[in-house]
Amino acid sequence: MKRNLLAAVAYFTWIGFAAAFFLGDKNDPFMRHHLNQALVIDFAGLIATVLGVIPLLGALIAGVVNIAGLVLDVMGAVSAYNGSTVSLPVVGDIHIIG
């Protein structure tokens, strides 16, 4: 599978991330960049979902974070598919994967 497409798939759901992680070359800086950004967005969504159980404020925060996550997922997937390694706003400076 083309690395651009594989990196783009990483942005959509944990299953897409897992597929890209296990099928892609983890030593490739391009793949590591996009896997890292996708993982940060996934973790933010997970935390927002947990916070969503708090009445009113938690639900509002979860909604905003999840919508922002969707926008960042689309931006990241388009960037990956086009072969770009431009960092996404907010999540681009957070590094989980070396």
Could you state, in order of their start, the residue ranges of all structural domains in the chain?
Answer: 3-92
Verdict on whether the full-model pTM lies above 0.85: yes
Check: CB of residue 97 under 8 Å from CB of residue 19.
no
- Tell me which residue has tokens 């960049």: 33
| Cα 64 off chain centre by | 16
Q: Over the chain, what is the mean pLDDT? A: 91
Statement: residue 97 has pLDDT above 90: no
**87, two tokens:** 């960092």
Check: CB of residue 66 under 8 Å from CB of residue 60.
no
Q: How confident is the model at residue 55 (pLDDT cuts 50, 70, 90)?
A: confident
Buried b (16+ CB within 10 A) or exposed e, 49-58: eeebeeeeee
Considering all CA atoms of the chain, what is the largest pairwise distance in Å, rounded to the nearest integer? 44
Distance CA 67, CA 83 (A): 24
